[in-house]
Amino acid sequence: MPLNLLIIEDLPHDAELMALRLEEEGLEPQWQRVQTEADYLAGLESHPDLILCDWHLPRFSGQQALELLKERGLDIPFIIVSGGIGEEAAIDALRRGASDYVLKDHPVRLGEAVRQALEQRRLRCEHAQVQERLRLAERAFQNTAEGIMVTDANASILSANPAFELVTGYSAEEALGRNPRFLQSGRHPPAFYRGMWTTLMEAGHWRGEIWNRRKNGEVYPQWLTISVVRDGAGRITHFVGVFSDISNIKQAQEQINFLAHHDALTRLPNRTLFRDRLAHTLAQDRQRQKTVAILFVDLDRFKTVNDTLGHRLGDDLLLEVSRRMREAVRVGDTLARVGGDEFALLLEDDAGARDAADAVTLARKLLKLLASPMSISGHQLVVTASIGIGLYPDDGGDSDTLIGRAERAMYEAKQQGRNNFQFFTQSLTAGAFERLVMENALRNAVERDELVLHYQPQVELASGRLAGLEALVRWQHPELGLVTPGRFIGLAEEIGVIADIGAWVLRSACRQLAVWDAQGVQVPRVSVNLSVRQIDREGLVALVAETIGESRLASGRLELEVTESMLIGDPEHSRSILIGLKELGAELAVDDFGTGYSSLAYLKLLPLDRLKIDQSFVRDISRDKNDEAIVRAIIALADNLGLETVAEGVEQIHQADFLKREGCGLAQGYLYSRPLPAAELEAQWEEEQAHVGSAPRVQRIDSSSRH
């Protein structure tokens, strides 16, 4: 192996002799000779393996060379080869760091001295590496986040690191000399530990999850690795245990597993878990030949609450709904949230499956519970539900079929007016298809000119004269016939065509009013209902302004009706829209007053003209004192706010008399007329005017008095 050699010598011949001697010893010196300090320092840059140095030089001394070597911290063997160094000087040189010295007249020792010096350097390097590894191991032992304990062959703890103390709560001093079994939690049977030791002895290591106990008594999970340490003869000398506290990981896993099968908001089982439980129940009850009932529950008009009052309040409402439903079901039943406002119930208990009678009882109980007013964030809300019921085996033999048919039964409950329950029947399949057909047709109803308006008069209670007409849209479907708003307005809102329908109604009503003006028929004003989508949509004020301009009507003859719930989602936005409409001259009314969620403090800030008393309060006048009190309160409230009142759904003379006595200004309902197309309404007016002695509700005016 080549030996990179630096020789400090003023005599070239002596340097050559040193190199030749080393070659004779079997070494392969590659050498250079220097004799000045500058050359020496330059030679050190080549990192020589060995330095041979004459002690006495005319221009540079061996002592200087040795000092320069140590100053630079270089570990290079330094052998003195000199003919005139004394014993005392040689010993001093060895003390200063020289590796050896050889007399020039005794060169036979040179090879041995070189080998020894190189070997000593190798040992020093190995020792330094071992020390560094030990320092690294100690730093790792002290600073690692994992707890470490080292035991002897008898499993007595010899050392423990700071992380051990942090995790277990025991100091190293408290643990030394003890067997690790003092940390056991008591959760594992003896067989667990026997299996651990068997694996450890056979494989040399064991790793796995284990539950241990902290000093404070808390039981916690840890991930533990135990390794066997053996000596050169294969005898066990130590055991090393490395562990980490995995409490957070276990909690995260439990949370992930929970959320995979439960709803994050209500903490109820989700659709996946509900389906699994239903499938399990069906598998059991096929053998027992018992009936299984499921209920599919959907909240009525929950989307309106979400849109008007906000998602946070909607979430609070869902929490209250789930709480009430939990109270209604038995311990063995499964209540799940399977969609936004959709819940499902699997009826079963320890006694076995539940039948149709149980399903009816529970459905009625749920409807009653949910219909009771709920106080949510300062709002009094009444939420109803539509419930579909599916029965096994009559309505399906597997979980997917049964769930699907209960869901279709729920849609039938909505079609029947909501706030009721329906069982599945085969006719529901045709009903679902009909809804799909209706949805596709409704998208183009405006373009195909299939919409028509019916008008219902609003009458002055004091005089009986016509005060205005409310325009109500109908859909003249080519196959289904005349479709009422209750069957398609909600669908129009869902599929996003309500704004187009609303614009059509607005323009058509204003055009009809202009036609009546041209015919000399005096209709004071026409009322048009606005949907929540129109209030939210940009450009409503511009649309109304454009429509009034096109029909050349006085703006005060157009009344726009909104519901309370439309105004609450974004109150400031709604107020700005109403102000914009009021600035155009349009009159504004709140429809179905008393059934929504508005605050009176907010109501007084709106530029309103009328409040419409909902027909649900009018219907039981003379039969329900509470409804009469509500009507009186609304009339008094409107009077204090400077607003006119309009009573809806007036069908009986005694209702009109009561409203008139209490100061209500206007009324509309079947007592006066059902909603009619323009032509039929005109015919009715003609007949009324022709009747001798009748008080005319509409007057003909000549062209000179037209506006």
Least confident of 37-51, 213-227, 243-257, 287-301: 287-301
Residue 555 token pair? 């703006």
Whether the upstream peptide bond of residue 77 has omega within 30° of 0, thus cis, is no
Q: Tell me the C-alpha distance between 187 and 169, whole Å.
A: 19
Please name which of 444, 446, 468 lies closest in space to residue 456, comparing C-alpha atoms: 468
What does the pLDDT average to over 544-565?
88
Q: Which residue has the higher pLDDT, 385 or 430?
A: 385
**CA distances in angstroms from 375 to 267, 314, 340, 382, 577, listed in the order given:** 21, 12, 20, 9, 29
Task: Note the pLDDT of residue 526.
Answer: 96
pTM: 0.46
Helices (H), 144-185: 162-168, 172-175
* Highest mean pLDDT out of 281-295, 441-455, 594-608: 441-455
Q: Which residues pair with 78 in a beta bridge?
A: 51
What does the pLDDT average to over 657-679?
94
**CA distances in angstroms from 553 to 413, 508, 525, 547, 562, listed in the order given:** 44, 13, 10, 9, 21
Q: Tell me the C-alpha distance between 212 and 222, whole Å.
A: 7
Q: Which helix (H) or strand (E) holds 391?
A: strand 385-392
Q: Residues near 517 by Cβ (< 8 Å), separated by ≥ 6?
A: 523, 553, 706, 707
Task: List pLDDT tens digits, range 146-175.
Answer: 889 999 999 999 999 999 999 999 999 999
Measured from the Cβ of residue 600, the count of other Cβ atoms closer than 10 Å reads 8
Q: Which residue has the higher pLDDT, 572 or 298?
A: 298
Contact status, residue 536 vs residue 303, Cβ threshold 8 Å = no
pLDDT exceeds cutoff 70 at 3:
yes
Q: Tell me the C-alpha distance between 517 and 474, whole Å.
A: 23
Q: Tell me the C-alpha distance between 502 and 479, whole Å.
A: 23
Task: Note the pLDDT of residue 545.
Answer: 92
Task: List pLDDT tens digits, range 605-638.
Answer: 889 999 999 898 899 898 888 889 999 999 999 9
- What sign results for the dihedral spanned by CA atoms 187, 189, 191, 193? positive
pLDDT exceeds cutoff 80 at 101:
yes
Q: Which residue has the higher pLDDT, 653 or 255?
A: 653
Tell the residue number behind the tokens 């659709």, with chain if given. 271
Q: Tell me the C-alpha distance between 29 and 20, whole Å.
A: 9
Residue 401 token pair? 């079929």
Where does the pLDDT of residue 684 fall: very low under 50, low under 70, confident under 90, or very high at 90 and above? confident
pLDDT exceeds cutoff 80 at 354:
no
Q: Tell me the C-alpha distance between 359 and 347, whole Å.
A: 8
Residue 166 token pair? 């942090």
Q: Which helix (H) or strand (E) holds 93?
A: helix 87-96
Q: Which residue has the higher pLDDT, 479 or 677?
A: 677
Sequence letter at residue 478: P
Measured from the Cβ of residue 402, the count of other Cβ atoms closer than 10 Å reads 27
Please tell me the number of Cα atoms within 13 Å of 124 on its side-chain side.
11
Q: Tell me the C-alpha distance between 364 and 420, whole Å.
A: 8
Contact status, residue 584 vs residue 555, Cβ threshold 8 Å = yes
Measured from the Cβ of residue 439, the count of other Cβ atoms closer than 10 Å reads 15
Tell the residue number behind the tokens 């129109």, with chain if given. 534
Helices (H), 101-219: 110-143, 162-168, 172-175, 190-203
Q: Which helix (H) or strand (E) holds 51?
A: strand 50-53
Q: Which residue has the higher pLDDT, 13 or 690?
A: 13
Task: Note the pLDDT of residue 561.
Answer: 92
Q: Tell me the C-alpha distance between 155 and 178, whole Å.
A: 8
Q: Tell me the C-alpha distance between 126 and 120, whole Å.
A: 10
Where does the pLDDT of residue 704 fall: very low under 50, low under 70, confident under 90, or very high at 90 and above? very low
Please name which of 477, 482, 536, 467 lies closest in space to residue 698, comparing C-alpha atoms: 467
Kindly report the backbone phi and psi dihedral angles of residue 322, in degrees, each rounded to the nearest multiple of 5, phi listed first.
Answer: -65, -35
Contact status, residue 185 vs residue 219, Cβ threshold 8 Å = yes
Task: List pLDDT tens digits, range 421-446.
Answer: 888 875 554 555 566 677 778 888 88
Burial of 435 (0-12, 13-18, 19+ CB in 10 A): middle
Task: Note the pLDDT of residue 569.
Answer: 64
What does the pLDDT average to over 60-67?
87
Please name which of 419, 341, 422 lies closest in space to residue 384, comparing C-alpha atoms: 419
Task: List pLDDT tens digits, range 262-272.
Answer: 999 999 999 99
Q: Tell me the C-alpha distance between 405 and 294, whole Å.
A: 10
What does the pLDDT average to over 213-238?
94
Q: Tell me the C-alpha distance between 645 and 611, whole Å.
A: 5
Burial of 629 (0-12, 13-18, 19+ CB in 10 A): exposed
- Domains of the chain plus CATH, in order, are 2-138 (3.40.50.2300), 144-251 (3.30.450.20), 262-425 (3.30.70.270), 445-691 (3.20.20.450)
Q: Which helix (H) or strand (E) holds 491?
A: helix 485-495
Measured from the Cβ of residue 589, the count of other Cβ atoms closer than 10 Å reads 24
Task: Note the pLDDT of residue 132.
Answer: 78
DSSP class per residue in 207-260:
EEEEEEE-TTS-EEEEEEEEEEEE-TTS-EEEEEEEEEE-HHHHHHHHHHHHHH
pLDDT exceeds cutoff 80 at 707:
no
